[in-house]
Amino acid sequence: MSFSLTSPPLARALADRNYSEPTPVQSAVLEERARGRDLLVSSQTGSGKTIAYGLAIGETLLGEAERLGPAAAPLALIIAPTRELALQVQRELAWLYAQTGARVISCVGGMDPRREAMLLGEGAHIVVGTPGRLRDHIERRRLDVSELKAVVLDEADEMLDLGFRDDLEFILKTTPEGRRSLLFSATFPKAIVQLAQSYQHDALRIEVEAARRGHADIAYKAVRVYPKEAELAVVNLLRFHDAPVSLVFCNTRNAVRHLEAILLERGFAAVALSGELGQNERNAALQALRDGRARVCVATDVAARGIDLPGLDLVIHAELPNDSEVMQHRSGRTGRAGKKGTSVLLVPQSRRRKAERLLMEGRVEAEWIGPPTAEEIRALDQERLLSDPMLSGEIGEDDVGMIEALMAGREAREIAAALVRLYRARLPAGEEAGDPGFGRDERKPVRSTEDYAAKRRPFGAGRDEGEEGDRPRKPAGPRGETVWFRLDIGRKQGADPRQLLPMLCRRGRITRDEVGAIRIFDRETKVEIDADVADRFYESAKVPDRDRITIEPTSEAERRPAKSFGDKSERPAAPRKNWDAAGAAGEAAPRKRFPPKEGGEREQRGDDRKPYHGAGRPQRDDDRPRRDDGKPGSGYKKPFAAKGKPFAGKPDRQDGGRPAGGKPFGKGKPRRG
């Protein structure tokens, strides 16, 4: 399928950019039924919608003409939610309308408004801007919207989420009644439908089928990480994929600054995008990514929304997004216009359920894997070196003398070793990032109600009896010998077992079951480790880490057999103490037990046992006072004694408890009958 355009200059511009086949959304807006009408289009990010509405309004602006007239009051207004997206749209429309003589300018926040006012005064055919800045120019009478023929709202759902509804309604109210209105949104929430009904006339609703499912050109991967090794996993992922441009998402500005500093320290050419940067700084960062001076961008959601970078093959979610829509907007920065891309979610154990929910709601399948290892990265480096174009280039005349000098004074192995060292020197080193080993495929299948009822432990059964249906928490039997290690952190430094246990497992590459007692003292902590893994634990834990905790073995005298975590019934019962009248501890006295009941009758009390009575309470007999109805009283009661002052001067109560001749009890108002 090819583009069916009535405007020759737009067709030539597409041919120059090697656009041969339209995307689904571009085909939908160019159909005969959509020409000249208001459109309400649902399309995912990265589906080519910028070119779609650029072509859709082309016939409205040009008609049958080859070129536009002199620039005066703008003919089309494009509204975008963010500065980056508005500037990107301005660049796209500039080359699309280059052969029509169109003048396309941008008006966005963060830029000099006086310069924008000067450009508007000189005239323009198409104006692209953000809602707040466009409204400001309209209110100051710098932007004349009286001649508009088309208005486009790009990513309308995002503009409403960012709080631009009042600005959008103000702009739409000032535009002429006869203009076309094109509204593009990833979803159709109620607010979008209401906006369309208020400011569109007989709009054609277009829902592109690709918008109903996850991005088909994006491979999702869920990488298991330890909570404190997410930064190391980011380093290894960047080295493993070696993408021309990579985008790493964080949730806060502080996280962006922190991760950018770490990547720069490791040797990556990285830039940052966040709301705290000025527009000139943002433009400089994006330009560095476009011209190859930077290869990694660390950004927040708002700053990176709408940006389109050539060669962006990898998106890393260093922190999980809040919902599936944000995840798809992030991932939509790659896999654009039919190109393949990879989206990686870093998932610690505590965020596993959230990651599964995001993938389920986004209707995408992800491969659960561990982070790339340093060995895998080194193997890829070898393959990339052997296929590097530097080895297959032609020999220049100026290089002949240097080559002969090297070959005469060095062996081939020495020259190759120097080449490898030079190649590795320009690459950041890989990190040692562990794999926690959890994953969706390892989850236990859900049992049926019948299986649960058959296998569950009977009521009253002990946890350590080991009978059928009882699941012991740990396998019975001793673990063998253990080795004690000392940590140079104690109670005064805030040592906490809940934080020390994950740290020990991470640094020592062991599991929780291989850690025994953790004893915290004022200035040090002693930890018990299974002797089978003690050597491996110490070799890994003695390497300095970012937590700056020193771990070293204690003396051999503290090595001892570990206590069994097995059946408690094997342990000897502690003797019971019986205190005599003098207060001295005697031998354990056997507890007096009654024989079991037979026939449902309780054993009669002996004559030597006194009946139970409350302290100071008389025994019950038939001489107790009786109630007015003749039934036996329920026990001795003290007569009621009023406390405080008596109700002096009050008449006796009559007729249901009301004071005779007075007001009813309450808040001073008579009760209704």
Kindly state whether residues 88 and 128 are assigned to the same domain.
yes
Kindly state whether residues 253 and 199 are assigned to the same domain.
no
- For tokens 């032609």, what's the residue? 394
Kindly state whether residues 298 and 236 are assigned to the same domain.
yes
Domain assignment of residue 182, yes or no? yes
Record the tokens describing residue 131, joined without a space: 């809602």
Instruction: Tell me the average pLDDT across 320-345.
Output: 84
Domain assignment of residue 230, yes or no? yes
Residue 31 gets the label, from left (phi > 0), alpha (psi -120 to 50) or beta, of: beta
Predicted local confidence at residue 384, as pLDDT = 85
- Long-range Cβ contacts of 597-606 (<8 Å, 24+ apart): none
Kindly state whether residues 191 and 64 are assigned to the same domain.
yes
- pTM score, whole prediction: 0.54
CA distances from 6 to 11, 106, 286 (A): 8, 27, 35
End-of-domain residue from the set 344, 377, 410: 377
Domain assignment of residue 180, yes or no? yes
Distance CA 407, CA 359 (A): 57
End-of-domain residue from the set 144, 178, 212: 212
**pLDDT tens, 382-394?**
888 888 877 777 7
Predicted local confidence at residue 246, as pLDDT = 93
CATH of the domain at 527: 3.30.70.330
pLDDT band of 122, cuts 50, 70, 90: very high
Kindly state whether residues 204 and 250 are assigned to the same domain.
no
Distance CA 237, CA 664 (A): 81
Give 336-358 as a 3 state SS string. Answer: CCCCCEEEEEEECHHHHHHHHHH
CB 306 within 8 A of CB 299: no
Distance CA 117, CA 583 (A): 97
Distance CA 371, CA 232 (A): 9
Predicted local confidence at residue 125, as pLDDT = 95
Distance CA 582, CA 566 (A): 40
Kindly state whether residues 233 and 207 are assigned to the same domain.
no
Distance CA 76, CA 364 (A): 37
pLDDT band of 542, cuts 50, 70, 90: confident
Task: Single out the residue of 38, 21, 98 nearest to residue 66, CA to CA.
Answer: 98
Kindly state whether residues 196 and 227 are assigned to the same domain.
no
End-of-domain residue from the set 377, 403, 421: 377
State which of 67-81, 291-305, 395-409 shows the largest mean pLDDT. 67-81
Residue 84 predicted with pLDDT over 70: yes
- DSSP symbols for 16-76: HTT--S--HHHHHHTSGGGTTS-EEEE--TTSSHHHHHHHHTHHHHHTT-SS----BS-SE
Instruction: Specify the DSSP class assigned to residue 598.
Output: B
Task: Single out the residue of 204, 152, 205, 159 nearest to residue 180, CA to CA.
Answer: 152
Beta partners for residue 297, in sequence order:
247, 271
pLDDT band of 467, cuts 50, 70, 90: very low
Q: Give the burial string for 331-364 (b: 16+ CB within 10 Å, else e).
A: bbbbbbeeeebbbbbbbbeebbeebbebbeebeb
CB 254 within 8 A of CB 300: no
Intra-chain end-to-end CA distance of the chain, in Å: 84
Record the tokens describing residue 136, joined without a space: 């400001």
Kindly state whether residues 208 and 237 are assigned to the same domain.
no
pLDDT band of 446, cuts 50, 70, 90: very low
Mean of the per-residue pLDDT values of the chain: 77
Predicted local confidence at residue 560, as pLDDT = 47
**pLDDT tens, 25-41?**
888 888 888 888 999 99
State which of 267-271, 395-399, 420-424, 535-539 shows the largest mean pLDDT. 267-271
pLDDT band of 4, cuts 50, 70, 90: low
Kindly state whether residues 159 and 249 are assigned to the same domain.
no
Indicate the angle between helix axes 279-290 and 83-96, nearest 10 degrees.
50
Q: Of residues 601 and 115, which shows the higher confidence score?
A: 115
Q: Which amino acid is at 318?
A: A
Q: Which domain holds residue 177?
A: 8-212
Domain assignment of residue 665, yes or no? no
Q: How many domains does the chain have?
A: 3
Secondary structure E strands in 144-212: 150-153, 180-185, 204-207
Predicted local confidence at residue 304, as pLDDT = 67
CATH of the domain at 208: 3.40.50.300
Kindly state whether residues 29 and 49 are assigned to the same domain.
yes
Domain assignment of residue 409, yes or no? no
Kindly state whether residues 89 and 208 are assigned to the same domain.
yes
pLDDT band of 162, cuts 50, 70, 90: confident
Predicted local confidence at residue 554, as pLDDT = 86
Distance CA 319, CA 302 (A): 15
Domain assignment of residue 246, yes or no? yes
Domain assignment of residue 613, yes or no? no
Distance CA 327, CA 48 (A): 19
Instruction: Tell me the average pLDDT across 275-288.
Output: 85
Domain assignment of residue 541, yes or no? yes
Task: Single out the residue of 144, 175, 164 nearest to residue 80, CA to CA.
Answer: 164
Kindly state whether residues 183 and 322 are assigned to the same domain.
no
Task: Single out the residue of 78, 253, 95 nearest to residue 154, CA to CA.
Answer: 78
**pLDDT tens, 555-582?**
644 444 444 444 444 445 555 544 444 4
